[in-house]
Amino acid sequence: MNCLRNIFFTVLMFFVSFFCFSQKNKETDTTIINQLLAKAAYFKNINPDSSFFFTQKSMELSIKLASSKYISLSSQSLGKCYIFKEDFGKSTFFFLEALKIEEKRRDNKRIADLYLDLGSIYQLMEKFNKSMEYYTNALYIFEKDKDTINIAKSIAQIGSLHSSREFCENRTKTQKKEDFKLAQSYFEKALLLYKLVNYKPGIMSVYHKIGGTYNKQAKPEKAVWYLTKSLSYYRKINNWHGIIQILYNLGRSYCQLRQYDKSINCFLESIKESKARNFTEGIQFIYEELAYTYDKAGEYKNARDYYVNYMIIRDSIYNNEKSNQIFELETKYQTEKKEKEILTLTLIEKKKNLFISILVSLIAIIILFAYYIILKIRTKKKIAEQNIEIKEQKIKDLKREHQLLSTQLVLEGEETERKRIARDLHDGLGGLLSGVKLTFSNIKGNIVISNNNVKDFDHALDMLDTSIKELRRVAHNMMPEGLVKFGLKDALADFCESLNSSCSMKVKFQFFGEFKRMEQKLETGAYRVVQELINNAVKHSEATELLVQMMQEASRLCIIVHDNGKGFDLKTSQKGTGIGLNSVKTRIDSLNGHIDIYSEKGKGSEFTIEFNL
C-alpha cells in the first residue's frame, strides 16, 4: 500500500510541476497584458499618445501569446485610441476585428460593449440609423443579462443620439423640440437606474448630457446646475476629455445668460486644455462659439479672428472620403464575417487546446483518485466542523428572528393603536364636536343674542369648526383612508399634495412602473417611513423643494426621497444622534428592506429605500 502511494504521488508531482511551469509563463504574460490595458485606459483621457503606446505593446504581447481574448481587448483599445486621433476608418476596423473574435468566442458581454463603440463611431459620423441599430442591439443584450449599469449606459447613449439628431438629418423646429424632449426622457431613465445602484461616474455623465440638452432647449439656468456638478466631479478624477466638453457647454450656457465674461473664460480654458493635451476633436466648434460670444459682447476684432480660425480648421477636417471608406469597410464585414476566420490563430489555438485538454484530463483523473482516498480521512472532521457551524448559525438566526419578531409586534401594536385612536377621534370625539356645533347653531337661530355677544358667539362657532377640521386632519394622518382603500401610490400622492398647501416647501411626487396593491403591512410600513422622512425634512432641512419617487416592479419596490436642503453629517446620524433616523431604520429592517443615505452639508439629502416583493 505504501509503495503504491509513493508511486502515485511521484506521478502526480511530475504532472503538476509540468503543468504549473507552462501555466506560470502564460499567467505572467496575461498579467502584463492586463497591466498594459489598464494603463492605456487610465491615460485615455489624460495623454492619448501614452494610451496608444501601451495598447500597441499589449497587442504585440497578445499576438505572441496567441490569445484571441487579449487580441480582441487590445483591438478594442486601439479603436478607442484612433477615435481620439479622429481616424474613424482605423477605429472602425479595429472594433470590427474585435467583434469578429468575440462572435466566434460567443461572449455576449463583449459583443454588446463593441456594439456601443460602433454606435458611438456612427454617431460621430452623424449616421443616425446605423448608430441607433448598434445601440439598440447592445441594449437588448444588457437587458437580457440584467446588467443595470450597462442598461443605463445604453439608454443614455440613445438619448445622446436623439439630442444630436439635428446634425444627422434636416429637422424642423418642431422635430427638434421633440428630439430634445425624447432625449431628456432617456437621460432621466438612465439617471434613475444609475442612482439605484449609486454609480457616480454614470450619474455625472448623465448630468453632463442633461446640461447640454437644456442648452439646446434654451434653458441655460438649469443647464448650469447640471454642468457645474459634473465639472466638479471630472476635475477631481482628472478626466480632461470630459472637462473640455463640459467647459464648452458651460460657455454656451453663460452666453445664453448674457454673462459673456464667464462664457469667454470657459471657451478659452477649453481651447487651452485641448491644445495642451493634443485633443483636437471638435476644437473648431469651440472657436465658432467663442467667435459668436465675442460678437455678442461687442469685441468684434476677437470675434473675427476666432471665426477665421474656425473656418480654417473646419475646411481641413470635413471630407466625404472618410465616411465612404468606413461604410465600405462595414459592408465588407457584414458580407464576409461568416466566411473568414483568423486562420493562423485558429491553428495555433487548436494545437495548444488539444495538448492542454489531454494534460488536464490526465491530471483530473489522478486528482480525482487522490481526492477519493483523502476524502475518507477528512469526511468526519468536516462533518463535525459543519455541525458546529450550523448550530452557531441557527443560534444567530434565532436571535435575529426574535429581534425582528419583537420589532414587528411593537410596530403592529403601534399601528393597531393608531387605528383605534384615529377611529375614536373621528367617530367619537369628532361626532360629539359636530353635535355641539349643531346645538350652538340651533341656539343661535332660536334665541335672541345681543349685538355685543353676536361677534363672540360667531367666533366661538368658527373656533369649534376649526377644531373639528383639525381633529379630522390628525385622525387622517394617523391612519389615511386612501392607504387602506387605494394603496400606497395614492396615499403618498395625497400626502405630498396636502403638504403643498400647509407648508412653504414645494413637494412633488413621481411614480414609475406598474402599480399593484401589496401586503397591507408593507404598504403601511412604507408609508410611515416616507411620512417620517418628509416630516424630518420639513422640520430640519430648511429645503425649498422635496421630491418623492416611487418605482414598482414585479419583485421590487423602490422609494427615493430627495430634498435640496442644508444636509447633515452622516457620521452623526449613524451614531443615533442628529435627526433621529433610528425609528425609520428599525421599521425598514422589520420589513426586510434596505436604506441607503446620501447627504452632504449644504447640498441636500437623498434616501433610497428598497423592499423585495
Residues 290 and 363 in one domain: no
Rounded-to-integer distance, Cα 19 and Cα 483, Å? 67
Residue 578: helix, strand or coil by DSSP?
coil
User: Mean of the pLDDT values across residues 40-67?
Assistant: 84
In this structure, what DSSP letter does residue 576 have? T
Q: What is the pLDDT of residue 49?
A: 81
Rounded-to-integer distance, Cα 90 and Cα 239, Å? 24
Residues 352 and 298 in one domain: no
Q: What is the pLDDT of residue 19?
A: 47
The two beta strands, 605-612 and 556-563, are: antiparallel
In the predicted structure, residue 96 carries a pLDDT above the cut 60: yes
In a domain, 575, yes or no: yes
Residues 366 and 436 in one domain: yes
Residues 6+ apart with CB under 8 A from 225: 211
In a domain, 292, yes or no: yes
All three cell numbers of 109: 458581454
In a domain, 410, yes or no: yes
Q: What is the pLDDT of residue 320?
A: 42
Domain count, the chain: 3
Q: Which of 231-245, 335-349, 489-503 has the lowest mean pLDDT?
A: 335-349
- 3-class secondary structure per residue, 315-376: HHHCCHHHHHHHHHHHHHHHHHCCCCCCHHHHHHHHHHHHHHHHHHHHHHHHHHHHHHHHHH
In a domain, 355, yes or no: yes
Residues 313 and 348 in one domain: no
Most confidently modeled range among 9-23, 208-222, 527-541: 208-222
Residues 6+ apart with CB under 8 A from 188: none
- Secondary structure of the chain: what % helix, strand, coil (to 5)? 80, 5, 15
Q: What is the pLDDT of residue 396?
A: 75
| Run of H or E residues at 97 | helix 88-105
CATH number for 269? 1.25.40.10
For 52, 67, 158, 201, 327, the CA distances from 63, given in Å and listed in that order, are: 17, 7, 35, 33, 28
Rounded-to-integer distance, Cα 80 and Cα 349, Å? 27
User: Last residue of some domain: 320, 355, 376?
Assistant: 320
Residues 397 and 291 in one domain: no
Residues 232 and 284 in one domain: yes
For 560, 593, 609, the CA distances from 511, given in Å and listed in that order, are: 10, 19, 14
Specify which residues 560 forms β-bridges with.
549, 608
User: pLDDT band at residue 84, thresholds of 50, 70 and 90?
Assistant: confident
Rounded-to-integer distance, Cα 121 and Cα 139, Å? 17
Mean pLDDT (the chain) is 81
Residues 513 and 602 in one domain: yes
Residue 509: helix, strand or coil by DSSP?
strand
Q: How many CB atoms lie within 10 A of CB 452?
A: 7
Q: What is the pLDDT of residues 319-358, one digit of tens each?
A: 444 554 555 555 455 545 544 544 555 556 666 667 777 8
Residue 218: helix, strand or coil by DSSP?
coil
**Higher-scoring residue by pLDDT: 373, 211:** 211
User: pLDDT band at residue 65, thresholds of 50, 70 and 90?
Assistant: confident
Q: Which amino acid type is present at position 310?
A: Y
In a domain, 31, yes or no: no
HSE (side-chain half, CA atoms, 13 Å) at 99: 24
Contact 293, 264 (CB under 8 A): yes
User: Last residue of some domain: 255, 286, 320?
Assistant: 320
For 407, the domain range is 344-475
92: left (phi over 0), alpha (psi -120 to 50) or beta: alpha
CATH number for 606? 3.30.565.10
Q: What is the pLDDT of residue 278?
A: 80
Rounded-to-integer distance, Cα 565 and Cα 90, Å? 50
Q: What is the pLDDT of residue 329?
A: 53
User: Last residue of some domain: 320, 353, 378?
Assistant: 320
- 3-class secondary structure per residue, 46-84: CCHHHHHHHHHHHHHHHHHHCCHHHHHHHHHHHHHHHHH
Residues 362 and 468 in one domain: yes
In the predicted structure, residue 146 carries a pLDDT above the cut 70: yes
Q: What is the pLDDT of residue 18?
A: 47
**Higher-scoring residue by pLDDT: 497, 11:** 497
| Run of H or E residues at 139 | helix 128-145
Residues 414 and 451 in one domain: yes
User: Mean of the pLDDT values across residues 441-449?
Assistant: 63
Residues 427 and 505 in one domain: no
Place of cell 476608418: 89
Q: Which of 125-139, 360-374, 546-560 has the lowest mean pLDDT?
A: 360-374
Q: What is the pLDDT of residues 393-417, one digit of tens each?
A: 877 766 666 666 655 555 566 666 6
Residues 409 and 459 in one domain: yes
In a domain, 163, yes or no: no
In a domain, 508, yes or no: yes
In a domain, 390, yes or no: yes
User: What percent of the chain is predicted at pLDDT more than 90?
Assistant: 38
Contact 182, 158 (CB under 8 A): no
The two beta strands, 506-513 and 594-599, are: unpaired
**Higher-scoring residue by pLDDT: 186, 377:** 186
Residues 470 and 522 in one domain: no
Query: Residue 561 — φ and ψ, nearest 5°?
Result: -120, 115
